[in-house]
Amino acid sequence: MNVLDIRGLTKKFGNFIAVDNISLSIREGEIFGFLGANGAGKSTTINMIASLLRPSSGEILILDRDIAKQSRFAKMNLGMVPQDLAIYEDMTSYENVSFFAGLYGLRGTELKDRTEEALQFVGLADKAKSYPRDFSGGMKRRLNIACALAHKPKLIIMDEPTVGIDPQSRNYILNSVRKLNEDGCTIIYTSHYMEEVEEICSRIAIVDHGKIIAEGTKEQLTATITDMKDIRIEVKSLTDVPADQLRLIPGVRTVRLDEMEPVIRIHSDAAVDNLNRILKELIASGAEIRSVEEQEPNLETVFLTLTGRNLRD
């Protein structure tokens, strides 16, 4: 059964076409990744699904019902976790969740139980009486999620739910997403972190210039890329890495420095044998190389190949 069906969806702002004739189906139980750079049309699509924007044309069906005609039914079955925190700083965690759950018609004991359950789910049960203004970024993000869960929606839209938080809170949220999915919830997940999407999404759509340019499982998407390779070089420190020099080497498309590990990630044309030249540049600049690995294309490679830019550009 499809939880969401989008047919010929278009949104125009004046002469600008933000979403261009998109069609898409999401099945029950999926975690559907929605990838796109800023301005690709991803948020506009999500906002139309959540009834925040009216489509210029096309239709959206949630559980087979047109949201334009049966808006209340659609909204009752939808939970929204907006990218920007959508919580009241001067209301306690409990009051926040309870207020939003109350707007879905929950009352009395049911409202109380569901509120406590949602707070328990995101690990904030002991902070029920605390105000979000005293919370860390991660705790606020978790409360932001709890506010979308208490009414037990069939479909949850999570728009960048892990942006700007510490790794611990990020792991907590990703585990929560998996748990929600195990409990039968269908999730639309957007993120700038490709690794997250790879890790938790069962199916992915890549959006660019208002159109869906690719759709499928991670394996299906990476299988389409045969002319690219990923080179992963682990170094002792990134300070001596001549990133600009590396970008000038024939075949190199992008160079990304990952400070967390520290690692250099290079996307390159598979047909060009340039590994020796890359290593020479690094050694000449004094970089201390620890390991070199040529990897199979991942989602980032797919995204780069299809859109010509990085997701975080």
Partner 1 sequence: MNNIVSIAVKEIKHDFRDRRTLLFMLAFPIVLMLILGLALTNAFSSNVKLGEMKVLVKDTSHGGPLADAFTSFTAELKKSDIHFETIKKGVNGLEEIRQNRYDGYMELTDSGISLYGNNQSAIEGNVIEGMLKAFTDKYNAVSAVAKVEPAKVSQLFVPSASANGSYIKETSVNANRQPGSMDYYAVAMSVMIGLWGAMSAGRLIRSEIVQGTAPRLVATPVRRSELFAGKVLGSIVQNFLCVLIVVLFSKFAFGAYWGEHLGIALLILLSEVVMSVSLGLGVSYLFKGKASTGILLLFVQLASFFGGAYFPVSVSGTDMANYIVLASPIRWANHALTELIYGQSSVFSAAWPAISLNLGLAVLLLAVSAVFMRRKEGL
User: Count residues contacting partner 1 (CB under 8 A)?
Assistant: 31
Binding partner 1 (rule: CB under 8 A), the pick from 23, 39, 52, 195 is 52
| Contact between 110 and partner 1 per CB under 8 A | no
- Reduced to 3 states (helix: H, G, I; strand: E, B; else coil), residue 96 is helix
232/131 Cα distance (integer angstroms)? 44
| Contact between 284 and partner 1 per CB under 8 A | no
Q: What is the closest distance, in whole angstroms, from the C-beta atom of residue 50 to partner 1 in the complex? A: 4
Q: Which residue is listed with tokens 């060009």?
A: 272
| Contact between 53 and partner 1 per CB under 8 A | yes
Q: What is the dihedral of CA 166, 171, 172, 178, to 10 degrees?
A: 150
| Contact between 102 and partner 1 per CB under 8 A | yes
| Contact between 191 and partner 1 per CB under 8 A | no
214/41 Cα distance (integer angstroms)? 14
Q: What is the closest distance, in whole angstroms, from the C-beta atom of residue 153 to partner 1 in the complex? A: 10
- 33-51 as b/e, with b when 16 or more CB fall inside 10 Å? bbbbbeebbbbbbbbbbbb
Q: What is the closest distance, in whole angstroms, from the C-beta atom of residue 173 to partner 1 in the complex? A: 17
Please, what sign has the CA dihedral across residues 310, 305, 285, 288? positive
| Contact between 76 and partner 1 per CB under 8 A | yes
167/219 Cα distance (integer angstroms)? 26
| Contact between 163 and partner 1 per CB under 8 A | no
Residues 6+ apart with CB under 8 A from 136: 166, 169
Any idea what DSSP says for residue 132? G
Binding partner 1 (rule: CB under 8 A), the pick from 45, 47, 222, 298 is 47
| 109 contacts 41 by C-beta, under 8 angstroms | no
| Contact between 62 and partner 1 per CB under 8 A | no
Draw the binding track, 3-42, toward partner 1 (x: CB under 8 A; -: no contact).
----------------------------------------
Instruction: Give the residue with the Cβ less far from partner 1, 99 or 193.
Output: 99
Binding partner 1 (rule: CB under 8 A), the pick from 38, 57, 71, 295 is 71
Binding partner 1 (rule: CB under 8 A), the pick from 1, 15, 16, 107 is 107
| Contact between 129 and partner 1 per CB under 8 A | no
Binding partner 1 (rule: CB under 8 A), the pick from 80, 187, 201, 278 is 80
- CB burial class (10 A; 0-12, 13-18, 19+) of residue 235? buried
Any idea what DSSP says for residue 175? H
Q: Binding residues for partner 1, per CB under 8 A?
A: 47, 50-54, 71-72, 75-76, 78, 80, 82, 84-91, 95, 99-100, 102-105, 107, 147-148
